[in-house]
């Protein structure tokens, strides 16, 4: 049986194949399993691969949209006045 996802086979990969899974956002897990997300292929962790295969999670990852959403949240936080700046309620 092949052991492509452990030991010697992953040593040449960056960080030995470890990183943040784009589906579950867990950090420092092995992201070695390729899945198709629309037109692109992304690498996800073993747990998310099984969940996607069995229909428990959906693999909808759009990096451009997620980055735009994060920047909009940051701008909204900057535009909202903090409690120290607002006048006291009477």
Query: Could you state, in order of their start, the residue ranges of all structural domains in the chain?
Result: 14-76
- Planar angle of CA 66, 50, 22, nearest 5 degrees: 20
Where would I find the beta strands (DSSP E) of the chain? 18-19, 29-30, 33-37, 40-44
In angstroms, the CA 33 to CA 75 distance is 35
Give pLDDT, residue 73: 47
Q: CB of 23 within 8 A of CB of 66?
A: no
What is the mean pLDDT of the segment spanning 3-31?
Answer: 86
| Average pLDDT of the residues in 22-38 | 89
């Amino acid at each position: 049986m092949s052991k492509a996802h452990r030991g010697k086979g992953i040593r040449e990969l960056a960080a030995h194949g470890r990183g943040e899974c784009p589906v579950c956002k867990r950090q420092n897990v092995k992201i070695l399993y390729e899945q198709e997300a629309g037109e692109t292929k992304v690498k996800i962790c073993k747990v998310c691969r099984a969940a996607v295969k069995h229909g428990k999670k959906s693999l909808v990852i759009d990096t451009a949209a997620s980055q735009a959403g994060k920047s909009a949240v940051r701008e909204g936080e900057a535009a909202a006045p903090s409690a120290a700046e607002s006048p006291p309620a009477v």
